[in-house]
Structure 1
Amino acid sequence: MDYKELATNILKNVGGKENVNDVIHCVTRLRFHLKDESKANDTVIKNMDGVMDVIHAGGQYQVVIGPQVDDVYDALVKVGGFQNKEEVSPDQGQNDEKKYGEKDQKQEGLFSRFLGLISSIFQPVLGILMASGMFKALVSLFTVAGIMSKTSGTYVILYALGDALFYFFPVALGWSAAKRFGMKELYGITLGGILVYPTLVSAVTSKTLYTLFAGSAFSLPVRLTFLGIPVVTQTYSTTVIPIILIVWVASHIYKWLNKNLPAILRAFFVPFFTLLIAAPLGLIVIGPIAMVIQDSLSKLVIAMIGLNAGIAGLFLGTFWSILVMFGLHWAIIPLFAIDIAQHGYDVINPLIFAGALASMGSVLGVFLRTKDPKERSIAIPAFISSFFGINEPSLYGVLIPRKKVMISSFLSAGIGGAIAGFSGSKLYAFGASGPLGLPCFINPKGIDFGFIGLCLSGIVAFLLALISSMFFGAKKTLKILSN
């Protein structure tokens, strides 16, 4: 991105240097104090490559840039000859929005605001996320084609490149969430690191001390205690919601301590008490709640398939990407292996097969409709990743910012799941994800109606998602919430 060119264009369209009283910046926004806001051209600025949105709040004309705001601000100061000022505190930006932007936030809707929050947290890690997806796709392709063995050093290194971010997702999201919630990023990194700390990870398989709610549907094994309080250990790698909630809680503790402690005590006691309160609370309360939700989801899926596989396919196919969004899909994935081990086949996995095809259709539609080179550069690797069954780049980079396209993609996947369910499709072996994994659904006795139905489910989901995406267009419909 040419920051000087972007800064020049922004300055021109806010009415020029002569219309600017002052300009500062926060974590993600340029904040202008304009003499006459009516001279600013919102439409032109919003459509600039590198600009996410324009917001009028707190007597300021705010241009939402994102993580590159520091570079754009530096270029703007040089172009306009403004005084270079330090970044304003996140609290100041949040207080302005609460005071002046409350009405707009209420009008936006709770669901849109929540998706905007998730999207804003993923925005800084999107580039690495897509690169990771591409590495995993390449490894999958090379192994399926017989070019690379899983025991080779090349495979191990490439797989690590693709899987590292996903394994340490709580660390990356902890950093981004801390930035979003107005707390120093190192707090989020530390809290995320605690969730994947080796000793706590190994405790998941250690000896059970006792079981909470034994004999009930919510029985929880306890393997650790903290000050006598039971800690229900869980594997947090690849999870999303726990770290976001923990950092959100920690940010409130952090701000309260900064506000109420004497300045001389803050350097030590703010980080000490923030981590001391937030980390155990996350491990003792937030993690176990997520576990209960996951277990409940597993039981719900099994019960629905027992009633009607077609209806279960419609439900699971539609909501699978939402489970992936929150990291809750890991509650269901182990069931694939259990079914194959017990029965020789699995009936759950075929119900979500169409999800990758639906994502591909939606992303292709956005690619064909958009004229923005930046959006196309996101769509291409996202499409390839979805082809290999890795939907996170498509989900976070393309679908979530476009609510109508996202919903149509989910519904298309649900219709595909229903077709697979009614066709009696089955997974007989583990292999590549996405379309490359089609051979795994072939009955050892030969191609049957279940396999034909599975292929049909993918084709229908792809076409429906593509048509819907072309109809709704490529324009982003979701505000990316930022500080």
Structure 2
Amino acid sequence: MDYKNLAEQILQLVGGDENIKSAWHCATRLRFLLKDEKQAQTEKIEALDGVITVVQAGGQYQIVIGNNVSQVYDALVALDGRLGAGDDTDKTAAAATTEKQKLTFKGAFDAFIAFISGSFTPFLGAMAGAGILKGLLALFTALHWMTPQTGAYQIWYAAADGIFYFLPIVLAFTAAKQLKVNQYVTVAIAMALVYPTMVALTSKHAAINFLGIPIVPTTYTSTVIPILLVVWVQKYLEPIFNKFWHESVRNILSPLCVLMVLVPLTFIVVGPISSAISNALASIVLALYQNARIVSGLVLGAFWEVFVIFGVHWAFVPVMMNNLSKWGYDPLMPILLAAVLSQAGAALGVFLRTKNDKMKGLAGSNTITAIFGITEPTVYGITLKMKKPFYCAMAAGAIGGAIVALSGAHANSVSLASVLSIPTFIGKGLGLSIIGDLAAFILGAVFTMLWGGVNSQPALATEAPATAPSTKTETSNTEKKYNQATSLNSPLTGKIVALKDVKDEVFSSGAMGQGIAIDPSVGEVVAPAAATVQMVFPTGHAIGLVTDTGAEILIHVGMDTVQLDGKGFNTLVQKGDHVTAGQVLITFDINIIQQAGLEITTPIIITNTKNYHQVKTLATGEIKQNQALLELS
């Protein structure tokens, strides 16, 4: 790769040095703070040889390069010395943090989206599973297979409804983690909100007061907004008490004061405010749905996956939860299913149309995963990468969404938008809603086959370049090396996590390559095979290796751990070192990472996946260092 040429093109396409406030890099991405992101020519940047994709999030313009990011960054600094003043990653990251903390509307919105997504993501799978179980119970009763009086129904309903009834408690824990306040104190506050005595007083509309101050009876079970407001208040209240009390008694008296103040404050002030916000949101959604139903279907059906790409879809989660809390149903979820199935249809269209065997295999498998609600691999690996199929899916989603909206179907519980969520829609308009879903899926496939330009696309990341005369000999010499079956041992001790479940779209989408992830229980990374160290990031949170058989591996400890600037990390090898299987490469402090509110899940990525036919996982569940983990063939 010509790093200088790539750096020159990137510098030009982001708007030149005059459009760059600051630049730095992490283990895989060039990160820019741009004066005007609109000046950056994203499509042309993504088309560059050496660029995997572009991500715009958190106020940053991120260009995903992969293992060679440090070389590209060095070439960028050589072109514009101002970007690497002092070549100090810590200073650059600190400057970036300062920029992000400026009180701009965009910065505040990015922070809000990050807060909401971080609060809901950890238990979204459990909530979706419980929602589907609720839908299945509704289906069983509708078909007279079961009645609500049976023991089986009651036990399953408890399993399905429990997480929703006690949602403030679950949300308290995750939201407190996001704002870095005492999670257990927040959970104690949430428990007070759903305490049986208080719930009974609310149901009876009993008039109570706190030291003479009247309390408006409000239901807090299954709510979202009250506890989010509580955590926000706690963020400012807790540090006051922490400073007031001496460290010898702080761990006891500070929580005591927070509970004594914040629980009554919630019942007196936060509850009524959240109730007003909830009513306003519900009224707005209801008004739009009743007065512009088809328009709402068109917009959500067309743009939902766009919202997902930019991360703003999380702003809809509290709204949908609030709809369920206020009305007992949500009209948005059925529309979102049409948007999801339109992407599955577009993937099917690519599968039926493409002449490329690798793309056909990728599109076929992603059609199935998208039908079941996992659209990220389809979007990032196929439709968005090829662009026209994504536009075709948007058009199909708009038509399907409009039909679903017209049906009046609604969800009776929260679930992941997939074919498995259909039982939660049982009720008025279900038949027409299913027609809308089928229309989105079929039209997505038809539009893509007709106008998706599938075979006119340039070679994608999953394809080998059509011609490369200058490197033909080199490629033929290395193919034998890469095609050898290679076994990799686990570099970590911990619990195996599917790559699709990693909370970073660049890893979970497979854009960087295939692989696996591990939730480590021991803070030590060892070499998975005999290899040469290709890249060691200065902060120690990531390392790149090339095995003796040619596999290129990236091990990225945690998510966004570059923010720690090396705190808690100790690198034991240098670039260019040859290491043996099992040799310790990095040690890290899990507690420091978790106390910073960061994820410790560690992706292990085969960055040259395209040189292999298959990347097979050899283990599940718990795994120890040096046990067999992956097989490349």
Q: TM-score, normalised by structure 2?
A: 0.42
1:43 match: 28
Report the alpha carbon displacement of residue 229 of structure 1 after superposing the two structures with TM.
Answer: 2.4
Mapped to 2, the partners of 1:239 and 1:410 lie a distance apart of 32
Q: How many residues align?
A: 342
Q: Which residue of 1 aligns with 2:334?
A: 353
Match of 1:330 among 299, 324, 337: 324
2:422 pairs, out of 435, 453, 459, with: 435
Deviations, residues 277-313 of structure 1 (Å, cap 9, x unaligned) = 2222222222212211232344445555665543465
Higher helix share: 1
- Residues 437 and 281 of structure 1: is their aligned pair in 2 closer, same or farther, counting only changes over 3 Å? closer
- Structure number having the greater strand percentage: 2
Distance across 2 between alignment mates of 1:224 and 1:273: 22
Residues 104 and 235 from structure 1, CA distance in 2 versus in 1: closer, same or farther, beyond 3 angstroms? same
CA deviations on 1:415-436 (whole Å, 9 max, x unpaired) are 6454455x5x356999999534
Identify which of 216, 235, 239 aligns with 1:232: 216
- Cα gap change, 1:435 to 1:161, in 2 (>3 Å): closer
Q: Secondary structure at the match of 2:180?
A: coil
Q: Who is 1:190 aligned against?
A: 188
Residue 99 of structure 2 aligns with an amino acid whose one-letter code is K
Distance 1:97 1:157, change over 3 A: farther
Report SS of the residue matched to 2:219.
Answer: coil
CA contact under 8 A between 1:360 and 1:462: conserved in structure 2? yes
- In the other structure, the counterpart of 1:89 is none
Does structure 1 retain, via aligned residues, the 8 Å contact 2:282–2:323? no
Contact 1:239/1:328 (8 A) holds in 2? yes
- Gaps (5+ residues) in structure 2? 1-23, 32-57, 59-91, 305-312, 352-358, 360-366, 449-453, 462-499, 508-558, 561-595, 599-633
Contact 2:223–2:325 (CA under 8 A) maintained in structure 1: no
Map 1:154-165 onto structure 2 (within 5 A).
154-165=152-163
What TM-score does the superposition give when structure 1 sets the normalisation length?
Answer: 0.53
Mark the CA change 1:196 to 1:229 in structure 2 (over 3 Å): closer, same or farther: same
Secondary structure of the structure 2 residue equivalent to 1:263: coil
Counterpart of 1:251, as a letter, is K
Contact 1:359 1:465 in 2 (8 A): no
Secondary structure at 1:42 match in 2:
coil
CA gap of 1:172–1:157, structure 2 versus 1, over 3 A, is: same
Distance across 2 between alignment mates of 1:331 and 1:304? 18
Q: Answer yes or no: is the 8 Å Cα contact 2:289–2:296 preserved in 1.
A: yes
Which whole-Å CA distance do the structure 1 matches of 2:261 and 2:123 have between them? 27
Q: Name the CA shift for 1:302/1:158 in 2 (closer, same or farther; >3 Å).
A: closer
Alpha-carbon contact 2:173-2:184 (below 8 Å) kept: yes
Out of 97, 102, 109, the position equivalent to 1:101 is 97
Instruction: Note the aligned Cα RMSD (angstroms).
Output: 5.6
Task: Indicate whether 1:293 and 2:277 are aligned.
Answer: yes
- Structure 1 Cα separation of the partners of residues 259 and 375 of structure 2: 31
Letter in 1 for 2:97: G
Contact 2:202 2:219 in 1 (8 A): yes
Kept in 1: contact 2:344–2:441 (CA 8 A): no
In the TM superposition, what is the alpha-carbon distance from 1:243 to its structure 2 partner?
Answer: 1.0
Which residue does 2:614 correspond to in 1? none
Q: 2-side partners of 1:418 and 1:289: how far apart?
A: 34
Where in structure 2 are the equivalents of 1:144-163 lying within 5 Å?
147-163=145-161
- C-alpha deviations, 1:357-407, integer Å up to 9, x for none? 3345558989999x9xxxxxxx999965x7xxxxxxx799999xxxx99x9
- AA at the equivalent of 1:198: P
Query: How has the CA–CA distance of structure 1 residues 152 and 254 changed in structure 2, closer, same or farther, with 3 Å as cutoff?
Result: same
Deviations 1:151-183 (A, max 9, x none): 322222222122211211111111122222222
CA distance change for structure 1 residues 109 and 415 in 2, over 3 Å: closer, same or farther?
A: farther
Contact 1:295 1:331 in 2 (8 A): no
Structure 1: which 5+ residue stretches go unaligned?
1-37, 47-54, 56-95, 209-222, 337-347, 372-378, 387-393, 444-450
AA partner of residue 476 (structure 1): E
Is 1:172 the counterpart of 2:177 in the alignment?
A: no
Contact 1:175 1:189 in 2 (8 A): yes
Cα deviation code 1:308-365 (max 9, x no counterpart): 543465578889985543432136525x7xxxxxxxxxxx95x763233334555898
C-alpha distance in 1 between matches for 2:314 and 2:403: 18
Q: 1:132 maps to which residue? A: 130
SS at match of 2:209: strand
Match of 1:27 in 2: none
Which aligned pairs between 1:9-28 and structure 2 lie closer than 5 A? Answer: none
Answering whether residue 243 of structure 2 is matched by residue 263 of structure 1, we say: no
Match of 1:249 in 2: 233
Name the structure, 1 or 2, with higher relative contact order (CA <8 Å, separation 6+).
1
CA separation of 1:383 and 1:111: change in aligned 2, threshold 3 A: farther
Task: Name the amino acid aligned to 1:249.
Answer: V
Matched letter for residue 192 of structure 1: A
Paired with 2:411 and 2:121, the residues of 1 have a C-alpha distance of: 36
**1:273 corresponds to which residue?**
257
Aligned-partner SS, 2:436:
helix
Change (3 A) 1:154 1:438: closer
**CA deviation digits over 1:434-459, x for unaligned, max 9?**
5347774469xxxxxxx65x444333
- Tell me the alpha carbon deviations over residues 213-246 of structure 1, each in whole angstroms, 9 at most, x when there is no partner: xxxxxxxxxx332222232232222222321221
Q: Which amino acid aligns with 1:458?
A: D
